[in-house]
Amino acid sequence: MGYEEMWRDLLPIGRVSGGGYRRFSWTAAERECRAWFAEEAGRRGLTLEQDRNGNLFAWWDVPGGRRDAVLTGSHLDSVPDGGAFDGPLGVVSALAAVDLLRERGVTPVRPLGIAVFAEEEGARFGVACLGSRLLTGAIDPVRARALRDGDGVTWADAMAAAGHDPEAIGPDPDLLAGIGCFVELHVEQGRALETPVGVASAIWPHGRWRFDFTGQGNHAGTTLLPDRRDPMLPFAHTVLAARDAATRHEAVATMGKVRVTPNGVNAIPSAVQAWLDTRAPDDAAVRATVADIRAAAEKAAREHGVEVALAEESYTQVVDFHAELRDRIAATLGGPPVLPTGAGHDAGILSAHVPTAMLFVRNPTGVSHAPEEHAEPADCLTGVEALADVLENLIAK
Ligand code: GLV
Ligand code: MN
Ligand code: MN
């Protein structure tokens, strides 16, 4: 099955009106993506395995066994109304790179694996890179099992409903020990890359925090303004404070998800739950930004007679990718641009355990996590060639 056919089969899965994707973990759309991957792996004679955490692997094995393997791949889940490339480009390119390596007659001396990591976006259960965090022991399985989606369904229940044993989740040192390095290809998500392909230097530190504003639900018509304890007001202050703090600390801060209770036009809300995503080039700037936003939220809450609580839901330290692997890849590709990113990736989680690198494919508009995300077909093919060159260099020697 050729490159275009892979996209032809994958692109309709989970696409919603408006052109974006909703491929949330353990839903029908994501299950279809997994089935698509299984089929593509099968067509190539790769050995498909699912680990205890719901991550998929397709292996091109060698006689010596699963030692010092070269792993590539990415993820197939999406943010709400996400683009076509964030995640899938790394998986499709990996499968296409295998085809190219075989056309070239490459005989691997190291096993080559293609990974599809589960819940990379954290769109359904809140913690990004959940599959790779579980694999590497970066999250307690007890906490992971209890993570809930917006309808109150736990990771454990969703996984069990999909036919997998949630009691088995957790670190997998044997699987990790067999991986020699990981190279993830990904669409670039800003406007920083001006050539078709680049190499990652670092991932900014980033985290997610949840604000719980609790006030008093009441009648929108009969409650006098001085009598109100409206949690929407300190929430609104907090949104603006996030923008100000990010500007001050040269960070970025986003409040893109909010849940209002009861969410009625003619009812003062009783509660507002809102999520903050903050990122910056260094840890101190992230921490200072969040501290300022928290102070602003607490002040506004006091002024409006509202309670506020802040919880850190996840945090990822700065990732500086493996210098030797990065340099080897850059040399293989003839000196492409090397650039950092503010986006999180499973590569960032794995980098604490195995030498890890990333290739980026140019994104002409820089739009990502939105239906308009785009990469030119010619750049994508250049990405496949680049990935094949890198993998050939790694598996054949
Ligand atoms: C994942 O794409 C993230 O950066 O949040
Ligand atoms: Mn993403
Ligand atoms: Mn991604």
The CA 21 to ligand 3 mean position distance, Å, reads 13
| Ligand 1 pocket test target in 23, 78, 286, 345 with most atoms within 8 Å of CB | 345
**Atom nearest to 342 CA in ligand 1:** 4
Kindly give the pairing relationship between strand 267-268 and strand 206-214. Answer: unpaired
The answer to whether 229 and 215 are in contact (CB under 8 A) is yes
| Residue 47: CB atoms within 10 Å | 14
Residue 396 has a pLDDT of 87
CA-to-CA dists, residue 189 to 29, 102, 142, 255, 391, angstroms: 23, 30, 33, 18, 23
CA-to-CA dists, residue 65 to 61, 110, 111, 298, 394, angstroms: 7, 8, 7, 56, 16
Treating both helix axes as pointing N-terminal to C-terminal, what angle do 232-248 and 283-303 enclose, rounded to 10 degrees?
Answer: 150
Residue 1 has a pLDDT of 61
The CA 328 to ligand 2 mean position distance, Å, reads 26
The CA 25 to ligand 2 mean position distance, Å, reads 14
Under DSSP, the state recorded for 225 is: G
**Atom nearest to 343 CA in ligand 1:** 4
The CA 187 to ligand 2 mean position distance, Å, reads 9
The answer to whether 198 and 101 are in contact (CB under 8 A) is no
Binding pocket residue ranges, ligand 1, CB within 6 Å: 121, 128, 343-344
Please report the domains of the chain, with CATH numbers, ordered by start residue.
3-204+318-395 (3.40.630.10), 206-316 (3.30.70.360)
Task: Tell me how far apart the alpha carbons of residues 56 and 372 are, in angstroms, rounded to a whole number.
Answer: 28
The one-digit pLDDT tens for each residue of the chain (397 residues) are 699 999 999 999 999 999 999 999 999 999 999 999 999 999 999 999 999 999 999 999 999 899 999 999 999 999 999 999 999 999 999 999 999 999 999 999 999 999 999 999 999 999 999 999 999 999 999 999 999 999 999 999 999 999 999 999 999 999 999 999 999 999 999 999 999 999 999 999 999 999 999 999 999 999 999 999 999 999 999 999 999 999 999 999 999 999 999 999 999 999 999 999 999 999 999 999 999 999 999 999 999 999 999 999 999 999 999 999 999 999 999 999 999 999 999 999 999 999 999 999 999 999 999 999 999 999 999 999 999 999 999 998 6
What pTM was estimated for this model as a whole? 0.96
**Atom nearest to 369 CA in ligand 1:** 2
